[in-house]
Amino acid sequence: MFSLLGKTNFFHPNQPLPPQHPIPNTPTHSAFHLGRYERAQEAYTELLSGNYGKPPPEVKLHLAAVYFYMQMYKEAEEIANEYEPESALKNRILFHVCHKLNDEQKLMQYHQKLTDTNEDQLSLAAIHYLRSHFQEATDIYKRLLLENRDDLALNVYVAMCYYKLDYYDVSLEILAVYLQTHPDSAVAINLKACNHFRLYNGKAAETELKVLADHGHILQANDLIRHNMVVFSNGDQALQVLPSLIDFVPEARLNLVIYYLRHDGVQEADALLKDLEPSTPQEYILKGVVNSCMGQSMGTREVSEQNDCITRPKPMLTLHYNYFARRRICATPKLFSSSLERVPASATQFPADSAWPVASSCSSSSRTLTST
């Protein structure tokens, strides 16, 4: 499973709490794995209240992990900083929190503290992925895969990176290694469907998703699958599905913008992107298109400050922008499919980009990507 903090080597789920604490450790961790973060938060907060004696100090880091997945990044930072002494786990949590808070200075400080351990390298690869540095992430995952052949989940991480790099055939080839052992993995099948969408069409992708139903998965119960079913069907049911997913599946916002542009809803598209600070080629292009449409609708040719994001992209994204622009800017906007599985609050799955991945681990307890 694409978990940020839920693996043994990152969240220590196998370390039992002292017997004097009446709140069982396993159910709390199970709540975390199932995405029931409010339940996990209540349990850890109760432990920290002192009503059952002095709790283990690691509980603060566990609560910080829960806050992270609840998108309460400030609270996660505060509770993690209360933990003493310094630890690799604490550093990884704060590393990802600073990424979410766009605190570049602190991000670099925690980056410098990372070591060559598998856990830290997976954390670093996740940040590279989240920042659209897919080649750097691929290099780390491939090296770890060479050193840990039994960690089959690494094949999916590599396949996700190749998907993002537009090497869809390569992604499918690597993904097949994992699917041979775990043919009912929702994460892997969803990624396979996304590759088929890019290589063929939406019908081919929908056929792949039906495999999940054959394995007993309820497709409508999975937010990412619901999102991608809209994408694969060329926007069918977009207004019924996408608005509720905007805060959980980042691609949902972009796809809803495209839907509105296709149906003359320029004002609605502008409202969705007004406060968005672009960080990916898709976001730059969409915001530029929306601003241009707004200018045309108002009968003005003036370029607003917002339009600078499309005419003068940030240096670090210039190459990505030019590459994407050459391939997509002249075409009718197409719905972007998400290649990563997500649940509300970006919880237990590797980043639908948006699940972009966040620190995952592939220890002995995390070699499969079974979905909940």
Q: How many CA atoms lie less than 13 Å away from 145 in the CB half-sphere? A: 18
List all residues 6 or more positions away from 90 whose beta carbon is below 8 Å from its beta carbon.
Answer: 61, 80, 83
State the pLDDT confidence band at 80, using cuts at 50, 70 and 90. Answer: very high
Q: Is the separation of the CB atoms in 347 and 35 below 8 Å?
A: yes
List all residues 6 or more positions away from 323 whose beta carbon is below 8 Å from its beta carbon.
Answer: 281
Q: Give the integer Cα–Cα distance in Å for 298 and 8.
A: 56
Write the DSSP symbol of residue 149.
T
State the pLDDT confidence band at 50, using cuts at 50, 70 and 90. Answer: confident
Q: Which two tokens stand for residue 177?
A: 């290694």
Q: Which two tokens stand for residue 364?
A: 């002995």
Beta pairing partners, 355: 353
List all residues 6 or more positions away from 150 whose beta carbon is below 8 Å from its beta carbon.
Answer: 367
Separation of first and last alpha carbons in the chain = 9
What are the tens digits of pLDDT across the range 247-272?
A: 888 899 999 999 999 999 999 999 99
Write the DSSP symbol of residue 337.
P
Average pLDDT, the chain: 78
What are the tens digits of pLDDT across the range 205-251?
A: 999 999 988 888 888 888 889 999 999 999 999 999 999 999 888 89
Residue 48 pLDDT > 80: yes
Q: Is residue 352 within a helix (H) or strand (E), and if so which, with residue range?
A: strand 352-353
What is the pTM assigned to this prediction? 0.76
What are the tens digits of pLDDT across the range 137-160?
A: 999 999 999 999 999 999 999 999
> In which residue are the tokens 């603060």 written?
60
Q: Give the integer Cα–Cα distance in Å for 274 and 370.
A: 37
